Structure 1
Amino acid sequence: MLAPDTGITLGKRHLLKNWRFWLGVVISAGLLWWFFHDIDLAGLWQGFAQANYLVLVWWLVPLTASYLLRIWRWKLLLDSIHPVRFVNAASGTMIGFMANGLLPLRAGELIRPYVVARNSGYKYSSALATVIFVRILDGLVIMAIFIWMLFLVPFGGMVKTGLAIAVGAVYVTGCLALVALYYRRAPVAKMLSLPARLFGKKAREKVRTFFVNFGDGLRIFTHKGRLWAAVGLSIAVWGTAALSYVPVIQAMPFAHLTPWFAAPFTLAYVCLGVVFPSAPGFLGIFEQFGYLGLTTCSPAIIEVFGQAGKGMAGAFAILLHVTQVLPYIVVGLVFLVREGMSLGQLQRGRMKEVSGVNAVEALRDMDDEAGKARE
């Protein structure tokens, strides 16, 4: 059971006062308005009517493989600190994704390590470090895919070069930051704690200690074999994720007009969109970024079908959203029942704002509550 005093308040009163929640709602509403404003509604229904759903259903095979690889990768990272059963890693992964699909403020990223911590001999802070490391690995792979895709899509030379340099700079910076945080924990933690001095010496020391302890959670760097395995699994995760887009594209009436790289390009576009705040379930993100990704790399859809082509591409984006999000919500709910938890308990769970000084206190509370749950 998720304790009632363990961090970010997901209750209604707190939620309505949280500016990040409203920012996500506004962005999702704006993206949905943009999406439906641009597409042809008749073409949208035509896309749904002419879709080959016998082809579409095959998306489940690579999607399932992608999530199994995700679980295996996370277990590999967790095992570098403390052994964890595969089923517990699976439970944390799927409940976390489900929470992202149904609860606001990307709550799943914090719930995911809590589920593992309450079932294993883990501290919440250590499990959280592995989640963040996984997300950084994901980001690096997606950036690599995006850079690759830039050279396959007809952009202007300067635009292409500028985007490649910008994304590549973030790619390299992310890698160096991870390595520095582990191997040079003390000086890096001291540097990262500088903004906290605005709240006093005690606050700065708490933040510095947090980053030092967080660096300890990156022990995967001392296990070279596991580290390279995690990198390889990350590539496999996103390779199979891209393959899960293929049946959705092939099920549409414009499939013959799409290039071979339409799936990975659209995937990279959607993943970049996910960076922005949004309503639960990435509402509006999948629709608009899925539509833009597909039509950017497949302009022939609109050239051949005209306005109807925009509607068909919109139908693809909606089907993509359903096929990518609905499965992990269903599986996550099954695991939630297995854990003896409920959505209401997750939503009523309170955590302090994980920002600034409160991050350290939140982690300490979560460590204590996870220990009580294990008892």
Structure 2
Amino acid sequence: MSPPVDEVLLRSVVPGVIGVLVRRGADFAAAEDAVQDALVEAVRSWPADPPRDPPAWLVTVAWRRFLDATRSEAARRGREELVDEEPAPGPVPSADDTLRLYFLSAYPSLTPSSAVALTLRAVGGLTTRQIAAAYLVPEATMAQRISRAKRTVSGVRFDEPGDVATVLRVLYLVFNEGYSGDVDLAAEAIRLTRQLAAAVDHPEVAGLLALMLLHHARRAARTAPDGSLVPLAEQDRRQWDPALISEGVDVLQAALVRDQLGEYQAQAAIAALHADARSAAETDWVQVVEWYDELVRLTGSPVVRLNRAVAVGEADGPRAGLAALAQLDDALPRHRAVAAYLHEKDGDRTTAARLYAEAAALAGNAAERDHLTRQAARLNSR
């Protein structure tokens, strides 16, 4: 029986292969389509006949697919000179091309959903079917989204400088999708962020990688056997991954000593404080509040202020947390859930039960709605 294709290896060389095609004269959209065709062929043929040099094989097959597509257009467009001969495959210097593709796929004019889809295709090497399954949408819908994204960036020069902050936002969006379909998007986001960290020296890239590692370390403890959510305070910390925590802390410390604080480093610092505590009660909540103050200064985000109110409630008592919460718009997502938690902590179970029920009605997903409904039922049963 033939061994299965190493899909991680396959996806890791995609940016370099696209880069080779672009340097040979293909536009980004055509190069990306040709590489996707080559990936499909690789999955079909490699188990029975694995190549000695996978990147070179992909370059050769993708270039031929590009030539075939271009030749079919040549008579109408007069572009025969582009397809006269096939250059030798040559080396695949993926790191530089990977960085360019990150910037291109996260182009500022793309919508977040389009940027995510294009990043997963061009940099991650996922097929349209895999991306559609991960986002629980029809394949045709995802194909249209990717086609629109490629049209948007079709006129962008491959060597134009990009915005690291935009790339990081896209990768964080990928990470927060977690797992669905046959692709673990959280693990894929970590892989891509590692790749980006190897290509660009930037403390916020390291900060995002540390944040992902520290959050991912808690993954096994986040859900009960029945699939229900387990809040951070109730998680079995023995299930947390110590290797990921150690790596995340090391990456974070190396970033912080550069004294160029950004929002991902601050978020990672908060995650590290949670990881360092043996229990929720032993968490250094005063430091957590201080890091949230830094995050508020950096972002001004109402969501950050909402999370800060929880930390204030732990550090200074529930009434201090409720006072911080009172300064925020009660239309914020999770506002009622936070208010319910703080009221329960203050001993007002009747108000907490009502707010949990209201928060459940406003929840954005079934798992959160079920958790909040159970919290309301728990208090009402008393």
TM-score tier by shorter-chain length is under 0.3
Q: Which has the larger radius of gyration?
A: 2
Structure-1-length-normalised TM-score: 0.27
TM-score (norm 2): 0.27
Structure with higher RCO (Cα < 8 A, 6+ apart) = 1
Q: Decide which structure has greater helix share.
A: 1
